[in-house]
Amino acid sequence: MSMVMFEVGAAVLGACVGSFLNVVIHRLPQEDPAQRSLGGRSRCPHCGKQIRFYDNLPVLGYLLLRGKARCCKQRISKRYPLVELLTALLFYFAALQHRFGEPVFASGIDWNNTFAVAFDSAFLAFLVASTFIDWDHRILPDALNYPMAIVGSTLVPMTVFGYAGSISKELTPGMDSLLASLFGLVVGCGLTWGVRVVGKVLFRKEAMGFGDVKFMAAIGAFLGWKGALLTFFLGCVVGAVGGSIKLIVTRDSYVPFGPYLALGALLTLFAQQSIFTFLFQTWPEWQRSSASATLLMVCLALVCIILLVVVVRRGRGHGRH
């Protein structure tokens, strides 16, 4: 029962944090320093009036107002309850991933797991805010990247979660985790920087923004070098598919990479071991044992080539207009 209470409490906390993230997403990209401040009462984005505290309740406030602002009756964006629900769901899964022994709230509480949930939640909040800011404004702000890189490379190893993997068994657990986290930061930053440089040489334009480099550094600091590599791989795969669909449907060739990297980091956080098992054990074993594996790979390659041709032609056609 206490475990259920903890998980529900994590979801409620997530909804409240999601309400704050809406403020971060709206204010942080603003050019005016006064509007960029995260302090002060929330105001209606339409008329500028202060929002009453009971109208600002996560999700519930939106439902009670039936999606319209009390002050000016303008429609409230569905983005606000969506961010709150998404953050609540992610916090719930973070608590679910670190199940404690009973009883949760007794003096024998597992503080290592408690801090693990706290840092998972902070990391997830970082991913949510960065995703929506990059999607709307095409930036990944330093005000989020730098603090998370510091937290990932200094505070997380202190709890010895083992997220970042291991460098050497001869080191103490804390030092091993610290070095693994710092190595993850360097790998995440270096990998993205390398792609940025190569892309600029080959295509004569930036293939990846500098914000993506710092974003991956923060992710690597938290997830370690293996997590950074897996995040980048998953981000590229999902980004290629999502970007292709976006280009075909909207003819907009710009692909914000931050949201796809965030999705890759999310999958890595919750399913890293399962993904590695599939990629390096299940998939190779199936290829060796199945006669149809080669045919399937050829078909997938042909589909990718056709999709690439369609995307390139659409992009060129859009460029002539």
Give 107-125 pLDDT, tens digit per residue.
Answer: 445 666 777 888 889 999 9
User: Do 161 and 273 have their domain in common?
Assistant: yes
CA of residue 24 relative to chain centroid, distance: 15
Please tell me the predicted confidence (pLDDT) of residue 266: 95
Question: Using an 8 Å Cβ cutoff, are 232 and 264 in contact?
Answer: yes
Instruction: Tell me which residue of 96, 101, 153 sits closest to 123, measured CA to CA.
Output: 153
Please tell me the predicted confidence (pLDDT) of residue 15: 95
Whether residue 181 lies inside any domain: the answer is yes
Question: Using an 8 Å Cβ cutoff, are 26 and 18 in contact?
Answer: no
User: Do 14 and 80 have their domain in common?
Assistant: yes
User: Do 295 and 268 have their domain in common?
Assistant: no
Question: Using an 8 Å Cβ cutoff, are 157 and 221 in contact?
Answer: no
Residue 68 β-bridge partners:
75
Whether residue 224 lies inside any domain: the answer is yes
User: Do 199 and 246 have their domain in common?
Assistant: yes
User: Do 307 and 261 have their domain in common?
Assistant: no
Total H helices, total E strands in the chain: 12, 0
Whether residue 118 lies inside any domain: the answer is no
The total number of structural domains in the chain stands at 3
Please tell me the predicted confidence (pLDDT) of residue 314: 54
Task: Read off φ and ψ for residue 163, nearest 5 degrees.
Answer: -60, -45
User: Do 232 and 308 have their domain in common?
Assistant: no
Select from 63, 87, 109 the last residue of a domain. Answer: 109
Whether residue 286 lies inside any domain: the answer is no
State the residue for tokens 């840092």. Answer: 119
User: Do 146 and 267 have their domain in common?
Assistant: yes
User: Do 146 and 272 have their domain in common?
Assistant: yes
User: Do 271 and 299 have their domain in common?
Assistant: no
Whether residue 122 lies inside any domain: the answer is no
Task: Read off φ and ψ for residue 40, nearest 5 degrees.
Answer: 85, 165
Whether residue 183 lies inside any domain: the answer is yes
- Domain hosting residue 309, numbered range: 291-321
User: Do 273 and 303 have their domain in common?
Assistant: no
Please count the other Cβ atoms lying within 10 Å of the Cβ belonging to residue 147.
13
User: Do 151 and 61 have their domain in common?
Assistant: no
User: Do 154 and 269 have their domain in common?
Assistant: yes
Please tell me the predicted confidence (pLDDT) of residue 185: 92
Whether residue 117 lies inside any domain: the answer is no
Residuewise pLDDT in 10s, the chain (321 residues)? 467 788 888 999 999 999 999 999 988 888 666 666 666 677 777 777 887 777 788 999 888 888 888 888 888 889 999 999 999 999 999 988 876 544 444 444 566 677 788 888 999 999 999 999 999 888 999 999 999 999 888 776 655 445 555 565 666 666 777 788 888 899 999 988 888 888 777 767 666 778 899 999 999 998 988 899 999 999 888 887 887 777 777 777 677 889 999 999 999 999 988 998 888 888 888 878 877 777 777 787 777 666 655 555 554 444 444
Please tell me the predicted confidence (pLDDT) of residue 319: 45
Whether residue 127 lies inside any domain: the answer is no
